[in-house]
Structure 1
Amino acid sequence: MMRRLALLGALLALSGLTLAAVPSVAIGLPLPGTAVLALGALALLAGVSGAMARRSRPEPPALPVPERRRSATVPGADFDDRLANATIHAAVGGVTDRDAIRDHLRTTARAVLARYDGLSPSEADARLADGSWTDDPVAAAFFADELSVDRSLAARLRAVLSEDSAFRRGVHHVVAALDRRASEGR
C-alpha cells in the first residue's frame, strides 16, 4: 500500500512539475488554473499520507526473554579451595585441614588402585604405606609411614626458594600420579 502511495505521489509531482515548467501552449492543451491547483493538491495529499504512513510503523514484536545460564561448577574447585586455605594449625573437629586433605587423597588413591590395579583395600593401603604405588618419589613419600624422599641439593634449594609449601607440592605430585594411573588404565 505504501509503495502505491509513493508511486502515485511521485507521478503526480512529476506531472505537476511538467505542467509548471512547460507552458500550456507548447503542450497544446490549455489547462485552467483550477486543474493545476487540483493536481498540486492531490500531489500534496499523496505526499502527506505517505509521510504519515512512514511515521506510524508497527511496534516491534515482543521477543521472549532468553533463558539465564546457570553457572557450572568446576570439578575439583572445592578441593582446590580447601588446599589453598589449608594450614598446619587450623583444626576442625580435632583434625587439621592438611590431615583432612591427606585422608581425602588416600581414599581417592585407594579407589584408583582398586579400580585400575585390581588391589583390595588392605593391599592398596600397604602399597601406599611403603610407597610402592608410584614411581614418583614425592608422591610416594606423601602417604608413606617412614619413607623419606632422597633429593639432590638443587631440588632442596628449589623447595626452599619456592612459594609453594612441601605439602602442596606433595598434593600436586599425588594428584598427577593418580591422574597418570587412571589415564593409563582407560
Structure 2
Amino acid sequence: MTLTRRLFLLVGVVATTAGLAVVAGVSFGLELTDIFLGLVAALAALQGLRYVQRRRDTPSNTTVTDDPEARISVPVPGADFDDDLVSAMGQGTRWAARERVVDRLETRAKEALVASGGHAPEEAAALLKTGGWTDDPVAARFLGASVSIPLRQRVRLFLSGRSSLTDRAERAVAAIEQVGTTDGPAGERR
C-alpha cells in the first residue's frame, strides 16, 4: 500500500470511530453541529470537483440514429372500384370495366338485401331482376332490371353534363345504401 492510501485509510477509520462515538452519546466538549455541517459541505464540494475533473478528460459520446422507418402505403378502401369506374369511361377497356362495376354493385345489392332487407338470396336476385328493390328506376335499370326510365329523368340525366355511367353508378350506390333503412314500395323494410 502506498503512503497516500494508508493516510486515507487512517482518516476514514478515525472519522468512522468519531461518528460512532457521537452517535453513542460521547461528547467531546465541542458543538458538533456546526463542525459537522462544515465537514459535510467541504466533502461534498471536493467530491463534486473530483467528478467534474474526471468528466473533463472523458470524450463526448453521441448516439447516431438510423434512418426513420419507411412508411407503408395503405390502400384506400374503394380505390379499386373507383379505378374500374374511371377505366369504364375510357375507350380501351370500357366494356370489361363496366361489367366489373355492374357485377360488383349487383353483388353488394344482393348482400344488402339479404343482410339488411331480410330477404333470401333467391328472393334478392328476383328483386334485382324486376327492379322491385328500389324506387329509383335509374339504379334498378343500371343493375339489370327491365324497367323504363321516364322521359323527364332521361332528359335530366342528359342535361346534367356528367358522365351517364358515373351518374347511374352513384344512384345505384345511393339506392343500395337505402336498403333496410326505408320502407319499400309494398311497405316492407328493405
Say yes or no: TM over 0.5: yes
Q: Which residue of 2 aligns with 1:84?
A: 86
Contact 1:112 1:178 in 2 (8 A): yes
Q: Which of the numbers 63, 67, 89 marks the counterpart of 2:65?
A: 63
**SS of equivalent to 2:86:** helix
What are the ranges of 5 or more consecutive residues in structure 1 without an aligned counterpart?
1-53
Contact 1:113 1:119 in 2 (8 A): yes
Structure 1 segment 119-134 matched on structure 2, within 5 A: 119-134=119-134
CA shift at 1:106, angstroms? 1.0
Count of matched residue pairs = 128
**SS of equivalent to 1:96:** helix
Query: Taking every aligned residue pair, what percent have the same amino acid on both sides?
Result: 36
How far apart, in 1, do the equivalents of 2:178 and 2:60 lie?
63
Q: Which residue of 1 aligns with 2:179?
A: 181
2:160 paired with 1:159 = no
Q: Which residue of 2 aligns with 1:172?
A: 170
Q: Structure 1 stretch 131-140 or stretch 57-66: which is displaced more?
A: 57-66
**SS of equivalent to 2:116:** helix
Q: Which residue of 2 aligns with 1:147?
A: 147
Contact 2:117 2:180 in 1 (8 A): no
Contact 2:138 2:168 in 1 (8 A): yes
Contact 2:137 2:147 in 1 (8 A): no
Cα 1:183–1:79 shift into 2, 3 Å = farther
Q: Which of the numbers 60, 71, 74 marks the counterpart of 1:72?
A: 74
CA shift at 1:88, angstroms? 8.4
Deviations 1:32-88 (A, max 9, x none): xxxxxxxxxxxxxxxxxxxxxx9x983542224322221111111011001111158
How far apart, in 1, do the equivalents of 2:160 and 2:146 lie?
24
Deviations 1:8-42 (A, max 9, x none): xxxxxxxxxxxxxxxxxxxxxxxxxxxxxxxxxxx
Contact 1:110 1:124 in 2 (8 A): yes
Note the aligned Cα RMSD (angstroms).
3.1
How far apart, in 1, do the equivalents of 2:88 and 2:113 lie?
26
CA shift at 1:121, angstroms? 1.9
CA shift at 1:117, angstroms? 1.5
CA shift at 1:181, angstroms? 2.8
Q: TM-score with structure 1 length normalisation?
A: 0.56
**SS of equivalent to 1:173:** helix
